[in-house]
Amino acid sequence: MPKRARVLVAIDGPAGAGKSTVARRVAERLDMVLVDTGALYRCVALAASRAGLAFSDEEPVGALAARLAEARAIRLEADKERGVRALLEGEDVSIAIRTPEMSLGASQVSAIPRVRDALLAMQRQAGEKGGVVLEGRDIGTVVFPDAEVKFFLTASPEERATRRHLELVQKGTPASFQETLADVVKRDKADTERPVAPLRQADDAIVIDSGGKSIEDVVDEMVRLVSQREAER
């Protein structure tokens, strides 16, 4: 593998640790491209739902993902405001993929091996040249085990549930804290125990616990570590 002109940064971790915001700001500060890999799984979920398929229906959902990948029908583009815009067959679906139904759908379709396979080549192509921040669950372990900088951003289930609960309250969606915490624990269990590409930290990842830290502090720490790694090359 020839040396990349700029490093590739992998940011993995469970939902609710502040990964998306942190990844967006780190990419901005380092003038790198951001690839939100969760958006790819969300696009597959949306396409499955529109095709009338059940998210758990492995065979047809896997075939659909393979077809979409083959036709290059899922694309991520840079967006000044949001960081990344998701396009499905040319349509901007950035908002449509962010509903609770698509969160659940993405989580289900992401457990299907053929779906993961279909999205793998796409992610590798997006990052191989470096100068890219990829955010997901298995970037440092499966997609780019050779990433020059790997972060595993985490926080306790209680911290993550507190953040998620606040978001829900702000959106006007009623849910008790206990329900939110139970959801976080359930999603963690599903993500870490699935047989294919489960969420786990790479041996060489830098673990950052965002609990009790501001987003800015986490971003500063990551930018400093990436800059240091780039300067050392």
Q: CB of 176: closest distance to ligand DC in angstroms?
A: 21
Q: CB of 232: closest distance to ligand DC in angstroms?
A: 27
Q: CB of 40: closest distance to ligand DC in angstroms?
A: 7
Residue 132 phi/psi, 5-degree rounding, is -130, 140
Q: CB of 207: closest distance to ligand DC in angstroms?
A: 18
Could you identify the residue written with the tokens 């269990």? 189
41 binds ligand DC (CB under 6 A): yes
Q: Which is nearer to ligand DC, 37 or 180 (CB)?
A: 37
The whole-angstrom distance between residue 125's C-alpha and the CA centroid of its chain comes to 16
Residue from 10, 25, 33, 37 that binds ligand DC (CB under 6 A)? Answer: 37
Q: Which is nearer to ligand DC, 110 or 180 (CB)?
A: 110
Which strands form 83-88's sheet, in the order they lie side by side?
Answer: 74-79, 83-88, 91-92
Task: Take residue 138 and report the two structure tokens written for it.
Answer: 């298995």
Q: CB of 231: closest distance to ligand DC in angstroms?
A: 28
Q: How far apart are CA 149 and CA 131, in angstroms?
A: 11
Q: For strand 206-209 and strand 149-154, is the pairing parallel, antiparallel, or unpaired?
A: parallel
150 binds ligand DC (CB under 6 A): no
Q: Which is nearer to ligand DC, 110 or 210 (CB)?
A: 110
Q: How far apart are CA 108 and CA 89, in angstroms?
A: 22
Q: Which is nearer to ligand DC, 38 or 130 (CB)?
A: 38
Taking alpha carbons only, the member of 113, 114, 157, 153 closest to residue 137 is: 153
Q: How far apart are CA 226 and CA 164, in angstroms?
A: 28
127 binds ligand DC (CB under 6 A): no
Q: CB of 133: closest distance to ligand DC in angstroms?
A: 13
User: Radius of gyration over alpha carbons of the chain, in Å?
Assistant: 17
Residue from 8, 22, 24, 42 that binds ligand DC (CB under 6 A)? Answer: 42
Instruction: Point out which residues bind ligand DC (CB under 6 A).
Output: 15, 37-38, 41-42, 103, 106-107, 110, 136-138, 191
